A and B are shown apart, each in its own frame.
Chain A
């Protein structure tokens, strides 16, 4: 018997990957150099692959006859469970890279914890995804260090990227009823528990990059509860256009 929390938890994982994958796809044809164009597209494809596995799993858990495409393309914005962090606009290359870094540093301990999930399917997805995420983290951390500790312009831009993104990282670790229920039944990990591992990854790289960690504020985004920023609707309009215009289209 699938609990509602179990489904919500899987959707949250899926939507983080789906929405960031969509955002990163926007770089295709626009990246500063060919090498990074492919690197960003590779990360986007890894994330979209993760979201496909997770959405198919969610469809099975829900057992209401929906498939991965219907989950991905036919929900309204308040039904998406992704963190607000991943739906924010890409901004410049620096902001894209800083966000990838902050998110990969979160995804890594998350997948590591989910390796021992009682949900065997979720554990298998975590095992596959962990390898991808380790590379995303490695690549984005290299960039953060070089841009932060680079030229005056690259430092200024990456610091302002960090200032812009940082308030949205608080949401990663906010207490949540879904988390508590899933953690109690050992299907997943409560995200709040991942904070020490995230900080241990993020802080040394930001220090190497000579970037200052912004002060904590009381602001809490609530994307994982379905309360999104104004940016998600625009992203979905583009992402969902084909399925809305041609329902059930396949290729």
Chain B
């Protein structure tokens, strides 16, 4: 018998209106409608969400962990990219 595994789906849940969908885990399911229902049954049993996205894990392209240094370290010393780097005049104190 052919025992192919169901594909893996990453699950994103929005906990309340106005918030972002956040990654919360994954499920195995044969297709998208079933993946949504599996996500509902596994991840929203305790009122965790009002909306679900599922994305087949194969469709996510991830950055290479070995390239972390060249990808992210160059931002370390660019403190002027943070708004807190700039002193505001007193008149605009409430920015």
Q: Which residues of A contact B (CB under 8 A)?
A: 33-36, 38-39, 42, 135, 138-139, 142, 146, 151, 153
Contacts and interface: CB of A to CB of B under 8 A. Distances in A.
A34 B41 CA distance: 10
Contact of B41 (A39, A151, A153): A39
B2 to A, nearest CB: 8
Interface string B20-34: 000000011110011
Contacts of A151: 2
Interface of B: 1-2, 6, 27-30, 33-34, 37-38, 40-42, 45
Contacts of A139: 37, 41
11 contacts: A34-B28, A35-B38, A35-B42, A38-B41, A38-B45, A39-B37, A39-B41, A139-B41, A142-B33, A142-B34, A153-B1
Contacts of B1: 153
A139 B41 CA distance: 10
Contacts of B37: 39, 138-139, 142
Contacts of B33: 142
Contacts of A39: 37-38, 41
User: Which among B1, B6, B29, B40 has the greatest number of chain A C-beta atoms within 10 A?
Assistant: B40
B30 A34 contact: no
B7 to A, nearest CB: 12
Contacts of B45: 38, 42
A191 B85 CA distance: 72
Nearest to B35: A35
Given A35-B42, A38-B41, A151-B2, 12 more contacts: A33-B28, A35-B29, A35-B38, A36-B38, A38-B42, A39-B38, A39-B41, A42-B45, A138-B37, A139-B37, A142-B37, A153-B1
A38 B41 CA distance: 6
Given A39-B37, A138-B37, A139-B37, A146 B42 contact: no
A35 B54 CA distance: 14
Contact of B28 (A35, A138, A142): A35
